[in-house]
Structure 1
Amino acid sequence: MTGKTFDLDKKELINQSFNQMDTHLQGAQYNQAQKLALTCRILFDNGHDSGLAGQITARGEKTGTYLTQRLGLGFDEICVSNLLLVNEDLEVLQGDGMANPANRFHSWLYRARADVQCIIHTHALHTAALSMLEIPLEISHMDNCVLYDDVAFLPKWPGVPVGNEEGELIAQAIGTKRAILLAHHGLLVACPSIEEACLLAIAFERAAKMQLLALAAGEIKPINSGLGREAHDWILRSQRSAVGFAYYARRSLKNNNFDCLK
């Protein structure tokens, strides 16, 4: 007999969908280093290329350590074999080469946020352009609600972020949120998983592009706050992040011939 769900309210239907996600949605099986290398390639494919600018890190097994890319390589060149394991002082524990000195603010943020397992910082084009206006990122479309009420704003540019002052400033400005727009700089996302961080970085750049397009046409209208939070929680599920990441990974691997996994 059909029509069994037509008398259910929205909350019941959402919970029913969440239960189905828990049962049916599964991500791909990659280890941490493979996920980090894939994230570099995925973000390169999705408009986050800015030469050698930007850093992507993930916590290591030992406290005070994290994986990151080698300075001198672009996101499109990162693979498991050229990742570095560094400590909070950016001393290389495993791998060859050096980390980006700007990774120092990652160390500060990891200290401040025990919930964070992955940090992504890029100078994606539309985000960088928006940052020049010294205005916050506006979330006013359903597709971008994964970031609704979850993006901080740092209106002050502290200069090249290689000092401890910049680390303290950024860690304080982001607070408990998952993302922040850095004026005259770029974006940063800090999440409890690599998969989630990757998807939020993609969503951030898309939201910035949409904001610039909308501003060129007129005034951006806000969405209902309750519905925005509802959409945020609807999209931001670990199972959705896992399968979303797996989708982007499949796309990237078609272009990279699986070399980034080695």
Structure 2
Amino acid sequence: MNEQVADVVRAHHALAVAGQDDMVWGHVSIRDRAGRGIWMKAAGWGFEEVEPDRVLLVSWDGEVLEGEGKRHIEYPIHTGVMAVRSDVDCVIHTHATAASAFASLEVPIRAINHDGVLFTEPDIPRFTRTGSLIRTQELGESLAETLGDARACLIPQHGLVAVGTDVAHAVMHAVLLDRACGIQLTAMAAGGPKRWSDPAEVALKTAECWPPSQIEAGWNYLARKTRR
């Protein structure tokens, strides 16, 4: 099996067990090593249903070059980001519940626990130009501009986008962002938060808690969980 196709399958399954599936909506892409475009699942399938024969190679212009099925309308999210981020090989878009709820509040993410340190100092960007579908190249480019060099961004009224140098980093960024939003929502419901990591501790915890080895450990755990 094509290794990139296998990674697309594994990423969707990992996000499903992490609770970021939304029936048949949301998608993961991986940059084609030959430069032809992106590998992503075909439209109409849930994350847990993705198998190798449900993965497409989509060109930078949205043409299906390999595979059977229709491409997702929002492929410009992926092509837009990858066009300007040479460091990114994987892009994720989900409608994660906690992140979607938190995005509506217009408050900064606080590093209340380990999960939040990756998305503060500076605060996570928010794409506010539209909360509707990102279906044009121009909107994809605009989202990429908002994302900048961040690990992820929130899209109020819509969901999240997370990126990574590989599938492990992108999946973990999506998972950690949703968890960080969830714990802050809990703290806010209880009348807080009152304490969170300052910039110095954020830098320390980013290095100590989220080096590549720990990103891989989290990713491997999710991968094992999909096989249970």
TM-score w.r.t. length of structure 1: 0.80
**Identity over the aligned pairs, expressed in percent?**
26
Q: Cα deviations across residues 153-190 of structure 1 (Å, max 9, x unaligned)?
A: 22443522102232122111111111111111111111
Is 1:182 matched up with 2:186? no
Cα distance in 2 for partners of 1:144, 1:135 equals 14
Q: Cα deviations across residues 5-34 of structure 1 (Å, max 9, x unaligned)?
A: xxxxxxxxxxxxxxxxxxxxxxxxx93322
CA shift, 1:130, in A, is 1.5
Contact 1:135 1:155 in 2 (8 A): no
Is 1:124 matched up with 2:109? no
Alignment of 1:73-152 (within 5 A): 73-149=45-121, 151-152=124-125
SS, match of residue 180 in structure 2:
helix
Contact 1:116 1:190 in 2 (8 A): yes
Q: Which moved more, 1:158-167 or 1:244-253?
A: 158-167
Cα distance change, pair 56–107 in 1 and its aligned pair in 2 (3 A):
same
SS, match of residue 129 in structure 1:
helix
Letter in 1 for 2:164: C
Cα distance in 1 for partners of 2:138, 2:205 equals 36
1:9 matched to which residue of 2? none
Q: Cα deviations across residues 31-80 of structure 1 (Å, max 9, x unaligned)?
A: 33222211101111111121222110000112241110000101010012
Cα distance in 2 for partners of 1:58, 1:202 equals 17
Is 1:200 matched up with 2:144? no
Cα distance in 1 for partners of 2:197, 2:213 equals 26
2:143 matched to which residue of 1? 170
1:66 aligned to which of 35, 38, 57: 38
SS, match of residue 199 in structure 1:
helix
Is 1:38 matched up with 2:10? yes
Cα distance in 2 for partners of 1:136, 1:58 equals 29
CA shift, 1:132, in A, is 2.4
CA shift, 1:123, in A, is 0.2
CA shift, 1:124, in A, is 0.8
1:226 matched to which residue of 2? 200
2:187 aligned to which of 192, 197, 214: 214
5+ residue gaps, structure 2? none
Contact 2:53 2:68 in 1 (8 A): no
SS, match of residue 109 in structure 1:
helix
TM-score w.r.t. length of structure 2: 0.91
Q: Cα deviations across residues 232-254 of structure 1 (Å, max 9, x unaligned)?
A: 12233222222321121111111
Letter in 1 for 2:182: K
CA shift, 1:196, in A, is 0.8
1:16 matched to which residue of 2? none
Letter in 1 for 2:47: F
Cα distance in 1 for partners of 2:91, 2:174 equals 10
Cα distance in 1 for partners of 2:36, 2:131 equals 25
1:242 matched to which residue of 2? 216
Cα distance in 2 for partners of 1:235, 1:148 equals 15
2:133 matched to which residue of 1? 160
Contact 1:65 1:88 in 2 (8 A): yes
CA RMSD of aligned residues (A): 1.8
5+ residue gaps, structure 1? 1-29, 255-262
Contact 1:148 1:229 in 2 (8 A): no
Structure ID, larger Rg: 1
Is 1:48 matched up with 2:27? no
Contact 2:12 2:28 in 1 (8 A): yes
